[in-house]
Amino acid sequence: METTRKSIRKQSLEKLYNLLSASRKVYAPVIAPDKQVEYKYNPDFAEVTFEHIRSTLSVKNVVFPKVENLFFYSNAKTESTITDIDLNKIPEIVLWGTHPCDNAAFDILRSIFSWDINDEFFSKRFEKLVVIGLSCHLSDEYCFCTSVGLTPNSAKGSDILLSRLQNGDYQAEILTEKGNGIVTLSPELFEPISGEEVTVTEVKQKFNHEQVTVKLASAFENRFWIENSLRCIGCGACAYVCPTCACFDIQDETKGKNGKRYRSWDSCGFGLFTLHTSGHNPRQVQSQRWRQRIMHKFSYMPERNESLGCVGCGRCSSGCPVDMNIAEQLEALQNI
């Protein structure tokens, strides 16, 4: 579909939001009392923030929930019955006001969840997702989208991308059929563009990701990993806040005769992550786990999935309790 550009007034945006919110699940960012930015379903428009840099958690849970039930079972004496999940019950979700980094992450997740087999849970949720993105007019020292091939106003992953205009109204780029579907709900809200400039923040490029990928190919045994991960305490924070980390654990939970199999987020930072039944662990210490994190995102994924595994949102670094800064390390790796 060819992109069309329209302009939408702040008041019209409110009308559009209320229209969507009345009929659909709309997932929008709000500032919680403790100042953390979190996404909520259908908050009042007055609560929705347009001024956030990054939410504490990414929004990947809309396509990859922290816990996803895979099926239910019940065990009788001789046989078990399995009840599948009805994927058709997965609702449409409209993401509202997510930034370009987070929106670009969906395609990276797609490349992982359809790499060898097509993950039907992910695919269904992804199919039902409509993204109304918001370009960034604010950024901070943790942002590095421009180092991973994106910009604060890249349209990748958005169905409609809003960008603030200098007069406080918004430009709306309508990018896909799904986006067009939203416009047709109330076409009069979308007016011809006014010629007003968009306000977009500037994010300095910190490294060249292609060079990093080249360097990583021969960096597996480098001292770098030990020296630069001594302070990593091996939690799951960086993977859990990350919009592109896709690892999960599968578990059964049984109560009496009935139970369910589910999957839940996992992280390569954990000591248990690749522990074999034999007791052997190919990643015995934290430096090997930290290496995996960077290698997966900047070496293995470019090779296997033809995309980077990082969108430069900076969450892993701002959320790390011991200030492991991934952009700083990638910059150093480029010059290794």
94-133 mask for ligand SF4 (x: CB under 6 A)?
A: ----------------------------------------
Given 172, 183, 232, 333, the residue binding ligand SF4 (CB under 6 A): 232
Please state the closest distance from residue 255 (CB atom) to ligand SF4, in A.
Answer: 24
Given 28, 30, 238, 333, the residue binding ligand SF4 (CB under 6 A): 238
236 near other proteins, rule: CB under 8 A: yes
Closer residue to other proteins, CB minimum distance, 18 or 201: 201
List binders of ligand SF4 among 266-285 (CB under 6 A).
Answer: 267-269
Helix, strand or coil, per DSSP, at residue 174 = strand
- What is the C-alpha to C-alpha distance for residues 91 and 87, in angstroms, rounded to an integer? 9
- Can you read off the two tokens belonging to residue 286? 């934290």
Backbone angles phi, psi at 14, to 5 degrees: -65, -40
Q: Where are the alpha helices (DSSP H) in the chain?
A: 10-23, 100-113, 120-127, 177-185, 209-216, 224-227, 237-241, 286-295, 301-304, 315-319, 326-334
The listed partner (other proteins, ligand SF4, none) that binds 264, CB under 5 to 8 Å by sort, is: other proteins
Q: Let me know: does 133 contact 103? Beta carbons within 8 Å.
A: yes
- Can you read off the two tokens belonging to residue 82? 């399995």
316 near ligand SF4, rule: CB under 6 A: yes
Locus of tokens 């090997």: 288
322 near ligand SF4, rule: CB under 6 A: yes
- Can you read off the two tokens belonging to residue 159? 């169905």
Closer residue to other proteins, CB minimum distance, 68 or 119: 68
Please state the closest distance from residue 296 (CB atom) to ligand SF4, in A.
Answer: 4
Provide the β-strand partners of residue 93.
25, 129
Locus of tokens 């421009």: 146
Per CB under 8 A, residues contacting other proteins are 34, 36, 56-57, 66-67, 141-142, 226, 229-231, 233-237, 239-241, 249, 251, 253, 262, 264-265, 267, 270-272, 285-287, 317, 319, 321-323, 325, 328
